[in-house]
């Protein structure tokens, strides 16, 4: 692990799916949107906490998830 590497929260698509199903404020469509956005980041060995935060904040800015969803999803990065 290099000096600037950050620990990965998710390293597989199954981990992402399992985590998203625990967020009960997401509906089926929102879960798919968040899943796809996080999957775009997984190619570099996994998704870090910072990448999760960036994706969730972007989806909120774009109006694709609610503020409540944002708060619940940010807990994944803790």
pLDDT tens digits for range 42-78:
887 899 999 999 999 999 999 999 999 999 999 998 8
39, 47 contact by CB (below 8 A): no
pLDDT score for 3: 44
Select from 38, 41, 40 the least CA-distant residue to 18. 38
* Furthest C-alpha separation in the chain: 39
Q: What are the boundaries of each domain within the chain?
A: 8-77
Helices (H), the chain: 13-21, 28-39, 49-61, 67-74
Helix (H, G, I), strand (E, B) or coil at 27: coil
Global pTM value: 0.88
């Amino acid at each position: 692990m290099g000096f600037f590497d950050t620990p990965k929260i998710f390293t597989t698509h199954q981990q992402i799916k399992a985590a998203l199903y625990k967020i009960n404020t997401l509906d089926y469509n929102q879960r798919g949107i968040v899943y796809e956005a996080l999957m775009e980041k997984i190619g570099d060995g996994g998704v870090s906490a910072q990448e999760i935060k960036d994706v969730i904040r972007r989806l909120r800015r774009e109006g694709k998830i609610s503020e409540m969803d944002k708060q619940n999803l940010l807990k994944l990065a803790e």
